[in-house]
Chains A and B, each alone.
Chain A
């Protein structure tokens, strides 16, 4: 919650100069608890009035970090663990990060802005989200029912990849191999065969896009493909960025040896299937918790907006028809951000309050009427339509207007559906003015259709809907004059 003081940061340091340097930069922004020993730090983690957000270790002894009780305790307490050192060997770091012994690792001198971002996100509880990815040693839940998985090897030295690929294929039949000579070629293969690729192993040094950039791109676009970085050079800084940001599974030195690589690749494939299975079960969980909150919101909206509520906007039948219509408009799947927004207590109230303001002004009889294609209609109707059209990047010209003696019909064009990227019953990240305006406009159209004895039909689509509004014909005075003339 914004009003509470931010969670403290535990600093485990060896040298007073490190403490001073750290304090001088971060003391203003964070509540820092300096600790000279592991014991002291462990005590503070247990006894701090508020659970610490992060543990920063500046150059402690790097030996046996994997068995460190302090790091284990910090992990249990939900601390984000950052290691800063200048005695780093890349293999060790990859191992420490991969086994989730630490969450981030930096060389000295540290990048102040990076570290600040990490600490700040940790105090908000965002930084530790990476833990939801399982560590390599967790029990496998492999699903090998799909067709044979593929390993994609990316390196501009095509002779080497060709040779390695041949050797690997001769040795085993559990996975296939694809080769790419550049990151661009790799991305092309991913576009065509992304579903089958379980592991990508890329060299760092290539013309064009570098290995760490490819890995970073992959993490966003294909998060379940296990990533392995290889390099013939000891480029610690580059590799550090990749392991911190891209969450690589392993770092392999060149030259390659097929016999050594085979078990690594098989482990990486198992990791791929574990990640996929976990993501699927997480999505099911997220969907089900969103489903229940959506039903709760629907009930609340009915109770607050429909008769007999004190400030009801319409009959229960109209509100129910409006909400059922929204359910047919498909929007984004729920994710972490939406679940987090649900924790904000004021979200539903803000929706109800905001909607009431919009709809009250659009349904007030004081707005009067105006002429629309020769018909006298409430001025709020073209106003509400304009809101929905603007949100869709369209103008009234895209509407199809037909009139008969009985009815005036206003419909969205068949090739130009209206857009709706979020609505009252979709996963929300907050309450914005455009959202309230669109929802208010649509509900106002339902209310006017009901009042005037007309019909509003909505056909929901993906992020879109088609609209048909028919109103009983009521020729405007001018139109009748024209007619008589």
Chain B
């Protein structure tokens, strides 16, 4: 862990949602979890000892308003970077209030998890992140990844399939009769073309693609 790593605190009411998000975030080796809560009041009680540098908090908590809790947290720890999770995309007028209150990033629950991870990357450096596209227009075309997959070479598609089935790189190399290094360069190309950063992204895509789940 180095100094610019994320010391994360997560405040999400529903346990299942919190766990699912944490499984994703802990795949990032720059993220360390220093605390979690289901309520705003518990968050304020824990913050001084947990000393996070990033707080992900739901707006619609059951005990107190998540935005008000964020304001109180910032008055106590002004350097804390807060990502607010909102139930649905918000109007620009509302978003302006969030940013004026010192919130660094706003993510709607209708957005893909990759966008939340991207936002974390920006706020980690103290930058503000709001994605106009997610608030003003319909979310990104879900066919994008599908087109990207179809444009992969036959070999790349095969490697993608094997990787999604969690076949080890060494085994893929043996099966295709190529070197270790070649498989890695296939992997890099696939990730760049598909816009993925991690194997789980690819696994989820392949499942959805094969089962023709319409997003």
Residues of A within 8 A of B (CB): 1-2, 6, 28-30, 113-114, 116-117, 119-121, 123-126, 129, 183, 208-210, 213, 216-217, 219-221, 241, 245-246, 332, 335-337, 340-341, 344, 390-393, 419, 421-422, 429-430, 432-435, 463
Contacts and interface: CB of A to CB of B under 8 A. Distances in A.
Given A2-B92, A430-B65, A117 B130 contact: yes
Contact of A245 (B4, B95, B126, B132): B126
B67 A113 contact: no
B55 to A, nearest CB: 13
B151 interface: no
B41 A419 contact: yes
B30 interface: no
Contacts of B60: 432-433
Interface string B111-130: 00000001000100111111
B133 interface: yes
B68 A432 contact: yes
B63 interface: yes
B66 to A, nearest CB: 8
Contacts of A114: 122, 127
Interface in B11-48: 39-42, 45
Contacts of A121: 96, 99, 128, 130
Interface centre among B3, B41, B60, B64 (most CB of A within 10 A): B64
Contacts of B59: 432
Given A2-B93, A219-B126, A332-B72, A434 B101 contact: no
Which of B65, B67, B79: most chain A CB closer than 10 A? B65
Contact of A129 (B61, B100, B118): B100
A117 B128 contact: yes
12 contacts: A2-B93, A29-B132, A117-B130, A121-B99, A208-B2, A208-B3, A219-B126, A220-B78, A421-B65, A430-B94, A434-B65, A463-B72
A123 B133 CA distance: 13
Contacts of A120: 92, 130-132, 135-136
A352 B129 CA distance: 34
B107 interface: no
4 closest pairs, A vs B, by CB? A216-B126, A432-B65, A337-B101, A2-B91
B49 interface: no
Contacts of A213: 3-4, 125-126
Contact of B126 (A246, A344, A392, A433): A246
Nearest to A216: B126
A99 to B, nearest CB: 23
